[in-house]
Chains A and B, each alone.
Chain A
Amino acid sequence: MTALAVPKLGTLTPWKRRGIFLAIGLVLVVVAPAMLSGFRLALLGKYLCFAIIAIGIDLAWGYGGMLTIGHGLFFGMGGYCMGMLLKLQEAGPGKLPDFMVWSGVEKLPALWKPFGSPVFALSAAILVPMAVAAALGALIFRRRVRGAYLAILSQALAAAFAILLIGQQGVTGGTNGLTNVTTFMGYDLNDPVNQRSVYLLIAVCLGIMYLLARQIVESRYGRVLMAVRDREDRVRFLGYNPTTVKVIAFAISAGMAGLAGALFVPVVGIISPALVGIVPSIEMVIWVALGGRGTLVGAVLGALVVNYAKTTLSEAYPAGWLYLQGLLFVVVMAFAPKGVAGIAKVLKERFGGRKVPPQPVSHQPAEAAEPAT
Chain B
Amino acid sequence: MSRGQLLLEIRGLDVTFDGFRAIQALDLDVLEGELRFLIGPNGAGKTTLIDAITGLVKPVAGTVNFATRNLLQRRDFEIVRLGVGRTFQKANVFEELTVIENLDLAACFRRSLPTLFRRRKDVLPEVLEALDTVGLASYGNRPAGVLSHGQKQWLEIGMLLVQDPMLLLLDEPVAGMSKAERTKTGELLQLIAETRTLMVIEHDMDFVRRFASRVTVLHEGRILCEGGVADVQSNPMVQEVYLGRAHDRRAHEDAAVGGA
Residues of A within 8 A of B (CB): 1-7, 215-216, 218-221, 223-224, 227, 230-231, 234, 236-242, 248, 358-359, 361, 363-371, 373
Contacts and interface: CB of A to CB of B under 8 A. Distances in A.
Contacts of B123: 4
5 contacts: A1-B128, A219-B116, A241-B77, A359-B146, A370-B176
B77 A373 contact: no
A367 B148 CA distance: 13
B36 to A, nearest CB: 20
A359 B120 CA distance: 25
A61 B222 CA distance: 46
Given A4-B123, A220-B104, A373-B203, A366 B176 contact: yes
A245 B25 CA distance: 37
Give chain A's interface secondary structure class.
Answer: loop
Contacts of A236: 76-77, 80
Contact of A223 (B105, B115, B204, B260): B105
Nearest to B159: A238
Given A4-B100, A219-B118, A368-B179, A240 B257 contact: no
B186 interface: no
B146 A238 contact: no
B163 A238 contact: yes
B204 A237 contact: no
Interface in B138-197: 138, 140-142, 146-151, 159, 163, 172, 175-181
A2 B140 CA distance: 7
Contacts of B137: 1-2
Nearest to B137: A1
B117 A216 contact: yes
A367 B183 CA distance: 13
B158 to A, nearest CB: 12
Given A4-B123, A224-B105, A234-B92, A371 B159 contact: no
Question: Across chains A and B, which 6 residue pairs bring their CB atoms closest together, nearest first?
Answer: A239-B109, A239-B80, A363-B148, A221-B116, A364-B178, A370-B175
Given A4-B122, A220-B111, A239-B110, 19 more contacts: A2-B138, A4-B123, A7-B101, A216-B117, A219-B119, A219-B120, A220-B105, A220-B115, A220-B120, A223-B104, A224-B116, A237-B86, A239-B77, A361-B146, A366-B150, A367-B178, A368-B256, A370-B204, A371-B249
Contact of A240 (B42, B109, B253): B109
A7 B120 contact: yes
Tell which of A3, A5, A239, A242 has the most Cβ of chain B within 10 Å: A239
B175 A373 contact: yes
A139 B108 CA distance: 26
Contacts of A366: 149-150, 176-178, 181
B181 A364 contact: yes
Contacts, number: 128
B141 A5 contact: yes
B97 interface: yes
Interface in B85-138: 85-86, 92, 94, 97, 100-101, 104-106, 108-111, 113, 115-123, 128, 137-138
B3 interface: no
A230 B110 CA distance: 21
A220 B150 contact: no
B204 to A, nearest CB: 7
A234 B54 CA distance: 13
B247 interface: no
Contacts of B115: 220
A14 B81 CA distance: 36
Contacts of A368: 178-179, 253, 256-257, 260
Contacts of B163: 238-239
Contact of B94 (A6, A231, A241): A231
A367 B92 contact: no
Given A7-B120, A238-B163, A220 B108 contact: yes
Given A7-B119, A220-B111, A361-B148, A237 B179 contact: no
B11 interface: no
A6 B181 contact: no
Contacts of A215: 117, 119
A223 B97 contact: yes
A7 to B, nearest CB: 6
B176 to A, nearest CB: 5
B118 A237 contact: no
Contacts of A239: 77, 80-81, 109-110, 163
A355 to B, nearest CB: 15
B210 interface: no
